[in-house]
Structure 1
């Protein structure tokens, strides 16, 4: 194997590992044999750092203390060309199992700039029209976060559609004129957080979504509960056509369909209050990463930060290191909310990212501070080259912000994090849509709430 100017150790080793794991015999190979095969395919860069392409088809970095961290690889061509294969001992959890390599990553794009396709929004609209008129006595909103979002007269069927949309979204940042949001306008109790352009929406937890179904079952109305679960599945099937919803939508469908086919499955879980846990146990291995935030906020943070580094790959064209840029931008968001969060974040970072974030926060004059937004806008050198790149950057940045807030117990800012808000400015003049008249479902309003919240400043 030659090491010339064209050699890219990371690309070559990734191809090798992918081909090996794709072999039908891989899942049947003894665990130790698989670990030995992967351990012989590590890479060392010139600075002595070891890298490994492993579980979930992603890269891992070995810290000086012997800990492996999920970490996006270097983008610099000279660094990638100067690698050499090495053999290192590895822990079992970085060894690919087989199904984990078929994970669908979907798209990290936010719903700003590229709108949700019309065929998706119309299918969701049909579900709202069909289920909005059901009696609130049969489908009440008895509490939880949805009760705070929707007006008093709204049935839980509408909340089930909304909750499914929010749970399935990679990052729930939406264009203020997005049809997907407009159709819910008449049902809301108050304006959604954001500004005149972007709605920065909080994530919906699986437990909150499942509780709509579980409450009906516990109250002695299992048929109503199953109808809500079926509505969630139908909504997820409509959303699955958009790559930004697809991974989580597929996971949700897989969890729900087993209940619809065997309604007794949750009987014990309903009594113990562990219905969401029961659903997660039924999620297939190849779809489980889509629900990672529900079981490990720390690992979820690692994965979305990995997405952010990948979304910043374009910065390597100007000589920047996307890993360091991502660390600096994370520091900008953390500094705007609470620097206390670093206590919770540092253990989930590799040494290189941790050091880059530390110096950015600690030294106001450090060059990495030059990546921070100024007056609500990105520095010129970080401006994405096109709309799709900007949308991917925005989605990954917002997902990372929500993830570290969840991990640190912080509250996301209602006007958006500084970085994702600045990226949004790059998309103001690059929308799919033109600001239309307020759009609502073509039925009698159930409250006096209007869609004006979508267009107010």
Structure 2
């Protein structure tokens, strides 16, 4: 029996309240009032609230903001009545946000995609590859595929990469190797890991909208159906499931009602129409498209949570955040005060922006005579098992991608320095047959 934990108890109380049908009938001030009574205070004076998106928020005493932050479970905490005025509307649950798919933060470095899922996608890809590039010209993903590859192949690839929590795959991954014959050039990464970019939804919409603009509605529907078929297959893996469900929700209406999206011959207009179809319960899966600030904050939350096995998760997370390129100093203000203190400690030691200055051999080891520049603390992150390592890698890479979308910063083609250090913990297992990714 697990010991009683104040955070777990408070979370259960709030979940029960939000699930109650009466919650929808409460005004925002009334919701704030009942939530304020369930704010927890830890011995160090930090105030914690379980709020919007069914996630914890930490109050910053410096500026009064509430930051997404996983709590220090197991730490003593007590409920203290606070005035409802301390809660801004944006942290108050509205209901559907509590129904988000939980998903998984594991990268594809470690636990392989199951053989059954891979085989179903291989069959779909083979069928897609038989189409003519004249009927299905490549209007997106042309940096990945050769000019003679039909866009139906790109539709399968785009669905996989858009739905992936963190599209980083190791040398075991059959899901990537099945695309080998269609690739224009070797994928970014090294001999161990492919650190792949996450495409925007606009790239998928571009494939469909171009066919509509060309007066080929049947071809447009075929591309949408291919994306839907891929998403349906991906639903069985928790690393794809939240966004796969969102993608299905967006494209299925145009398959059920041919002609629905025919007026949207502009890719941006089609993307907007797709996003409008997603119900509020899928909102978190779409932050990557709708709210880049929130997307980054959730990625950082995932990273700290994935590092819960460490004695000091915020400091461990800061060592990964130290890899991000931040020449304009925009990162610290986006962190909660615990993370900010840890990051600034590394900054004072000259240990931030480490991936921008790293030099390594293709296998990730230091070049002779040069120093691999990374915070020494990164080398001390030792996940207890394979699944935990994959979870940290996934969350760290997702954070890097989210930061890149938010700021325009480039993510190194060979990954971020802290992740490279962790990859070596899995290299000796790269030929295994693990399929557990729950």
TM-score (structure 1 length as normaliser): 0.85
Question: Is contact 2:206–2:267 with CA below 8 Å preserved after alignment?
Answer: no
Over 3 Å counting, the alpha-carbon distance change for 1:303 and 1:273 in structure 2 is closer
Per the TM alignment, residue 432 of structure 1 is displaced from its structure 2 partner at its CA by 5.9
**Which runs of 5 or more structure 1 residues have no equivalent in the other structure?**
1-5, 367-371, 435-457
- For residue 328 of structure 1, the aligned residue among 311, 316, 319 is 319
**Structure 1 match to 2:214:** 219
Q: 1: distance between equivalents of 2:72 and 2:36?
A: 20
Per the TM alignment, residue 259 of structure 1 is displaced from its structure 2 partner at its CA by 1.6
**RMSD of aligned residue pairs (Cα, Å):** 2.2
SS at match of 1:147: coil
Per the TM alignment, residue 429 of structure 1 is displaced from its structure 2 partner at its CA by 1.7
Task: Say if 2:332 is the partner of 1:346.
Answer: yes
**Structure 1 match to 2:427:** 428
Question: Is contact 1:56–1:100 with CA below 8 Å preserved after alignment?
Answer: yes
Query: What are the superposed Cα offsets for residues 273-318 of structure 1, whole Å, 9 maximum, x if unpaired?
Result: 4211211111111112112111111110100110011110111xxx
Question: Is contact 2:43–2:76 with CA below 8 Å preserved after alignment?
Answer: no
SS at match of 2:142: helix
SS at match of 1:287: helix
Deviates more, 1:231-240 or 1:347-356: 347-356
SS at match of 1:59: strand
Q: 2: distance between equivalents of 1:51 and 1:197?
A: 41
Query: What are the superposed Cα offsets for residues 307-338 of structure 1, whole Å, 9 maximum, x if unpaired?
Result: 011110111xxxx220222023211x12xxx3
Query: What are the superposed Cα offsets for residues 14-68 of structure 1, whole Å, 9 maximum, x if unpaired?
Result: 1111111122322233333222211221112223222110011101111121211
**Structure 2 match to 1:451:** none
**Structure 2 match to 1:72:** 70
Q: 2: distance between equivalents of 1:239 and 1:219?
A: 30
Query: What are the superposed Cα offsets for residues 170-193 of structure 1, whole Å, 9 maximum, x if unpaired?
Result: 000001231101100000010001
**Structure 2 match to 1:57:** 54
Q: 1: distance between equivalents of 2:147 and 2:267?
A: 29
Q: 2: distance between equivalents of 1:422 and 1:381?
A: 10
**Structure 1 match to 2:349:** 363
**Structure 2 match to 1:208:** 203
Kindly report structure 1 stretches of 4+ aligned residues shifted beyond 6 Å: none
Question: Is contact 2:208–2:223 with CA below 8 Å preserved after alignment?
Answer: yes
Q: 1: distance between equivalents of 2:416 and 2:41?
A: 36
Over 3 Å counting, the alpha-carbon distance change for 1:391 and 1:432 in structure 2 is farther
**Structure 2 match to 1:95:** 92
Q: 2: distance between equivalents of 1:69 and 1:378?
A: 24
